[in-house]
């Protein structure tokens, strides 16, 4: 079997297009412009690239983009004051504090200081609890992107066997909650799981969020399964150049799977698209307007 490629890049472009259309309507019909604020502390090169991309795509979608760049030595008190100011700013509908933060700052404390309704990353403890209890929540962007790809592929996820490899708070756990919410039968696997290949081979939907380059080979995949590769790993390629690979060994897995996301061009582009979608949702909720269909969990 040769798997169908799930084109996350094209799907993300579609999501961004839908967001931009909604934003244009919000502006013309209600005079409202959704706004996303990104807070960056320090000068981590990867974070700087992410923040630049987010700002660019926010503006392209017709939204207002606010950036707060703070020096690495910023105190917790000063950072909390910036978050508080954004919480109180009615032009800001989404707040994202770029992680990781410098070591002297308490990430949990900072994330939980964001107003939950503006927490477009979905990491606030109240959004985590809301997702787990089936209440209206802000949902983390990467798992939301995976869910959109899966819904598009299957239509309904009801009754599917899903295995999520990885139990992190930002990917594995919220992914499992979303699959459960769509009535899949969900197993969460992790580093202590016994006979992982056998567990994975039960999956109709296999989500890899392990952080280990190309660990999930074709031996882990049930014939015809849909494989979602969340992993982003930079490894050394030919001629000493670095290249991006996923947590799935694409070559062997795509020979067994029914459909698979590539890296790059699969889940990656969905993350920022979902960030924009969450900001739009937050703006609609703030103004008591209907939420954009198909762009929420």
**Residues designated as active site:** 54, 98, 121
CA distance linking residue 278 with residue 120, whole number of Å: 6
Q: Is 218 in the site for ligand NDP (CB under 6 A)?
A: no
Q: Is 283 in the site for ligand NDP (CB under 6 A)?
A: no
State the minimum distance, in angstroms, from the CB of residue 32 to ligand NDP.
Answer: 28
CA distance linking residue 30 with residue 168, whole number of Å: 39
Q: Is 168 in the site for ligand NDP (CB under 6 A)?
A: yes
State the minimum distance, in angstroms, from the CB of residue 81 to ligand NDP.
Answer: 28
How do strand 64-70 and strand 35-41 relate by DSSP bridges? parallel
CA distance linking residue 54 with residue 189, whole number of Å: 31
Could you give the strand order of the β-sheet that contains 94-97, starting from the edge strand earlier in sequence?
64-70, 35-41, 94-97
Q: Is 172 in the site for ligand NDP (CB under 6 A)?
A: yes
Nearer to ligand NDP, 256 or 275 (CB): 275
Nearer to ligand NDP, 26 or 176 (CB): 176
Nearer to ligand NDP, 230 or 280 (CB): 230
Q: Is 120 in the site for ligand NDP (CB under 6 A)?
A: no
Q: Which of 42, 55, 116, 211: binder of ligand NDP (CB under 6 A)?
A: 211
State the minimum distance, in angstroms, from the CB of residue 274 to ligand NDP.
Answer: 9
CA distance linking residue 245 with residue 263, whole number of Å: 6
Nearer to ligand NDP, 229 or 284 (CB): 229
Q: Which residue is nearest to ligand NDP (CB)?
A: 168
How do strand 233-236 and strand 242-245 relate by DSSP bridges? antiparallel
Side-chain half-sphere of 80: how many Cα atoms within 13 Å? 11
Q: Which of 154, 233, 244, 285: binder of ligand NDP (CB under 6 A)?
A: 233
Q: Which of 75, 135, 191, 242: binder of ligand NDP (CB under 6 A)?
A: 191
Cβ-based neighbours of 122, under 8 Å, separated by 6 or more: 128, 131, 137, 138, 139, 140, 141, 144, 174, 278
Q: Is 297 in the site for ligand NDP (CB under 6 A)?
A: no
- Give the N- to C-terminal CA distance of the chain in Å, as an integer: 31
The burial of 234, by beta-carbon neighbours within 10 Å (0-12 exposed, 13-18 middle, 19 or more buried), is given as exposed
Is there a cis peptide before residue 264, judged by omega within 30 degrees of 0? yes
Q: Is 98 in the site for ligand NDP (CB under 6 A)?
A: no
Q: Is 167 in the site for ligand NDP (CB under 6 A)?
A: yes
Q: Is 101 in the site for ligand NDP (CB under 6 A)?
A: no
Q: Is 143 in the site for ligand NDP (CB under 6 A)?
A: no
Q: Is 281 in the site for ligand NDP (CB under 6 A)?
A: no
How are the residues of the chain apportioned to helix, strand and coil, as percentages rounded to the nearest 5? 40, 15, 40
**Which span sits near ligand NDP by CB under 6 A: 51-59, 70-78, 109-117, 225-233?**
225-233
Q: Which residues bind ligand NDP (CB under 6 A)?
A: 142, 165-168, 170-172, 189-193, 196, 209-212, 230-233, 247, 267-268, 271
């Amino acid at each position: 079997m040769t798997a169908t490629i799930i084109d996350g890049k094209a799907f993300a472009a579609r999501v961004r297009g839908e967001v931009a259309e909604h934003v244009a309507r919000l502006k013309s019909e209600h005079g409202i412009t959704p706004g996303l604020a990104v807070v960056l502390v320090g000068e981590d090169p990867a974070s700087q690239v992410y923040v630049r991309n987010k700002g660019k795509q926010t503006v392209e979608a017709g939204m207002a983009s606010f950036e707060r760049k703070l020096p690495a030595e910023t105190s917790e008190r000063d950072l909390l004051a910036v978050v508080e100011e954004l919480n109180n700013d009615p032009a800001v509908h989404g707040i994202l504090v770029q992680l990781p933060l410098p070591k002297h700052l308490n990430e949990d404390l900072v994330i939980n200081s964001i107003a939950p309704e503006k927490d477009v990353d979905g990491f606030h403890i109240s959004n985590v609890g809301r997702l787990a209890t089936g209440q209206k929540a802000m949902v983390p962007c990467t798992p939301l992107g995976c869910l959109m790809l899966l819904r598009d592929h299957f239509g309904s996820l009801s009754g599917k066997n899903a295995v999520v490899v990885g139990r992190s708070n930002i990917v594995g756990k919220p992914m499992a909650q979303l699959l459960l919410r769509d009535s899949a039968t969900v197993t969460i696997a992790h580093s202590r799981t016994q006979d992982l290949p056998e567990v994975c081979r039960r999956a109709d939907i296999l989500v890899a969020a392990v952080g280990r380059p190309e660990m999930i080979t074709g031996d882990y995949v049930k014939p015809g399964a849909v494989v979602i590769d969340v992993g982003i790993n930079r490894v050394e390629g030919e001629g000493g150049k670095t290249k991006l690979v996923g947590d799935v060994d694409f070559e062997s897995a795509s020979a067994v799977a029914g459909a698979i996301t590539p890296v790059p061009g699969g889940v990656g582009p969905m993350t920022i698209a979902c960030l924009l979608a969450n900001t739009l949702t937050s703006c609609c909720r703030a103004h008591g307007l209907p939420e954009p269909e198909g762009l929420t969990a």
